[in-house]
A and B are shown apart, each in its own frame.
Chain A
Amino acid sequence: MVSRLQAFLVRRLLWALPVLALVSVVVFGLIRLVPGDPAIVMLGADADPARLAAVREEMGLNDPIYVQYVDYITDAIRGDLGRSYVDDQAVSAAIASRLPRTLFLTLAGFFVSLSIAIPAGLLSATNRGKALDGVGLTFGLLGVSIPNFWLGIVLLIAFGVNLGWLPVAGYASPLEDPVAGIRYLLLPGITLGTAMAAVVTRMLRSELLEELRREYLDAVRMKGVSDLRVLGHATKNAFIPVVTVIGMQFGYLLGGSVVVEQVFTIPGMGQLLIGAIRSRDYITLQGVVLVYTTFFVVVNVVVDAAYFYLNPKLRGDQ
């Protein structure tokens, strides 16, 4: 089994390479099609024309676009993502300092969403048509309907400004100061995780209901097994498609963190991305998008691997 899994993973990772190459071309090309000269944005409206020309030359913007791409990709393969147009700092260093913050935020959202979704989905399915099910369904509907930037601002005003329980802006590393780290991540985590919790709750509920209706469980029940153990059998099987959704949602959390970072002033990848777009800092933007893409690809591979592991049919163990 292990060797088949290994072969599967190698195949999926090899597929990731052309995906990344394609993304690099598309990102490189698209952002240069967007109007707006990075040198003008950097120097402002009353910049001296000679200085503008000099800055464009320094940035390499006068080189043909294919030369710029080849230079960029050659350096990127060596791990050098270039230096920011705006502050001349290494993009890889900027990403290295911000990525952990975004990952902690994403993990906080992930943790919040699963903490809500798994019990809510289980309770909803096992109490079908009762009040608890109604609560679960209402939560599911609200969760997917409320935009997270709005939810973030409401939580921020309620718990940060009015009650003063939690900080409203900034970040503290949970590794350096766990208490402060959790205080800073709680509201962003809830904001980010709510939508995913709603999706997973609905998915788990429907999969579990379907599973509970299957005939093999009747056989289990006839053997006198307790309801709790029956639920355990059903949940395990219901989780196979849910894991795929959870994995995909993790990727969306990474994307959703861009907005949440803005609202809660978390100096992560999202803020770096928005700053780079506004200042037309092509180099930083390319680096950030490449890292995001790589994460999506890795998440997909992990999800596939988990699915492969959980699903006996795929493993050929049947």
Chain B
Amino acid sequence: MAEDSTADRRTFLSAVGGAAATALAGCTGDGTPTSDGTSSPIPATETTVSTPEGGPQAGGRLRVGFESELTGLDPHTTESVVSWVVNFNICETLITFDEGAPTGRLATDWEIGDDGRTYTFTLAEDARFHPPVDRELVAEDVVYSFERMNQDGAMGADLSAVESVEATGEYEVTFTLAQTFAPFFNFLGRVPWVVVPEEAVEEQGGGLGDFQEPVGSGPFQFEEHEPGDHLTLTAFEDYREDGVPLLDAVEITPIPDADSRVAALRSGDVDMVRGVGGSDADTLRDDDRTKLSRQSGTEWGQLHINCSEPPWDDPAVRRAVAHVIDRGAIVEAAVSGYGQAAWQPYAEDSIWNHDLGDSRRTRDVERAKQILEDAGNPLEGETLTIKTNSRYSLMETTADLLVANLAAAGIDAETETLEWATQLEDFVTGNFGAMAFSVPFKIDPDRHYYGFIHPDGSQFNHYGEEQPDAQRMYDLLEQGRSETDQEARVEIYAEFEKLVNKNCPWISVARADGITGLGSNVYGVQPWLLPYTRYWTMWKGE
């Protein structure tokens, strides 16, 4: 780090120290797990040790243990969450989110046309690409990046609505959609849609997947990557925000074994670890050398149902099972209470959460029996099979406890434990009646629901036209895509949630928290809407 930039950083720190400390203090909690359904508007942060006096300190190297290896770093092709985390710190999207609401990142302003088909973004004029490119980022780079990422339709349905991307000024870019597609704007905040310089891509071979040493305009620049061993990011000295990032470098090491990851943090070999299990979380909270950061609702667990497969094609069976599940017990057993019982993917304070009130299908075994009796006892002589895997605790526990809950209600059931890759293939190909499953947090409800239900989506729930309210549910999903007014969309998805609760094409079980372990001298972690850690807000104390 050059002397002058260090001076800049100090100036910034003295200016923002108080504000940063206040902000951090506001997101400090005791980390006590809850399972009663409390949640924050967006996935919330909790750290168990407060910020020390004196505020943020510049400098230092943060050593981070990841839960898996970095498999591919080309931001436009990688499907790995850990690679997205790295890329989010190197490259930048047009927009991002603050307090759950969209805000600019590379874009300073935007305008959405009245017809909902044109999106015009004004770019920051002081964004620069990292060395060796070392030049301004302009509108043509945005055009190039979107053309590159979507060559041969590689982005699939997400970008299929985009008719054209044009540079309408040096720092202005306009997207024109063939038809309105409301989720488009929120999707602009996700990693694959980052802006990269063409010359750096060409230097590395030019093809999709070749850009393994990403160059971007973010707070950190790529330094080196030894596959399987470590990846190093260093602070980008010419980043447009003074004093950002605080750290000099971030060194990432994959530590796939969960026990080893926690041991590495406790021994001080690393300063931060991702993917801490609920059973290890208390250990880290109680150890003086470590603390926790929790982000609520990063994973949504559900019982996925193939509604074309007997006996699950009978709505009465699905409704009865929804009343049998003991969601609270699953949260306790699967994630040691680090999560919430859930009847829908979005937490209670999210705009996408609809208050189902007393109508939600809570545990009520007598009611389940009544539903089955009224339907003519369709499960008599039947044994329900719940597919699951032993790799993910939430899914495994959901299946095990559900089978126990069903047995207690007099319903025969069994689990079928598969290897994860096999279960995933069965999920995609529809080879299941019911399976315990979980999906990560999605930024837009369309991302959850359209693929589950709509005939033009992947239709994972096989919710055919013969099912109750099917056509209305399809219509609502289409409206959710075409309606660009947010309040109207909220109403649309509220009605959709009511129909999900009524007909149970799937049964929501729990939202699990994302838990990060931190050394006691690591500060500034700010979990937020997306599962990408922003290392530029972090710093190390004494």
State the A residues within 8 Å of B (CB): 34-37, 40-52, 54, 84, 86-89, 94, 97-98, 153, 156-157, 160-161, 164, 167-171, 262-265, 267, 271-272, 274-275, 278-280
Contact = CB atoms under 8 A, between A and B. Distances in A.
B269 interface: yes
A153 B228 contact: no
Given A36-B425, A278-B421, A168 B267 contact: yes
B66 to A, nearest CB: 11
Contacts of A44: 79, 424
A156 to B, nearest CB: 5
Q: Could you tell me the dominant secondary structure of chain B's interface residues?
A: mixed
Given A48-B156, A89-B227, A265-B255, A168 B428 contact: no
A169 B256 contact: no
A156 B424 contact: no
A161 B289 CA distance: 11
A265 B69 CA distance: 11
A265 B153 CA distance: 38
Contacts, number: 139
B468 interface: no
Contacts of B228: 94, 97-98, 267, 271-272
Nearest to A86: B71
A41 B421 contact: yes
B226 A97 contact: yes
Given A36-B424, A46-B447, A50-B156, A271 B263 contact: no
B65 interface: yes
A34 B423 CA distance: 12
Ranked nearest first, the 7 interchain pairs of A and B with the lowest CB-CB distance are A48-B156, A36-B421, A267-B228, A87-B72, A169-B264, A35-B422, A86-B71
B450 to A, nearest CB: 10
A271 B152 CA distance: 33
Contacts of B254: 265, 267
B452 to A, nearest CB: 9
B260 interface: yes
B372 to A, nearest CB: 30
B257 interface: yes
B30 interface: no
A267 B229 contact: yes
Contact of B263 (A160, A267, A274): A160
A262 B420 CA distance: 19
A168 B425 contact: no
B427 interface: yes
Most central of A35, A153, A157, A275 by chain B CB within 10 Å: A35
Question: Chain B, interface size: which category?
Answer: 35 or more
A169 B253 CA distance: 9
B421 A35 contact: yes
Interface in B54-69: 65, 68-69
Given A262-B257, A267-B229, A271-B256, 8 more contacts: A84-B71, A97-B226, A153-B263, A164-B267, A170-B229, A262-B256, A265-B254, A280-B421
B19 interface: no
A271 B266 CA distance: 23
11 contacts: A35-B425, A50-B153, A87-B71, A87-B227, A168-B264, A169-B261, A169-B263, A170-B253, A265-B254, A265-B255, A267-B228
A93 to B, nearest CB: 9
A87 B422 CA distance: 21
A51 B421 contact: no
Contacts of A264: 260
A62 B425 CA distance: 16
A161 B267 contact: yes
Contacts of B229: 170-171, 267
Interface in B421-474: 421-422, 424-425, 427-428, 437, 439, 447, 451, 458, 460
Contacts of B212: 87, 89
A267 B231 CA distance: 13
B253 A265 contact: yes
B267 A265 contact: no
Interface in B338-395: none
B269 A167 contact: yes
A167 B267 contact: yes
Interface string B225-267: 0111100000000000000000000000111110111011011
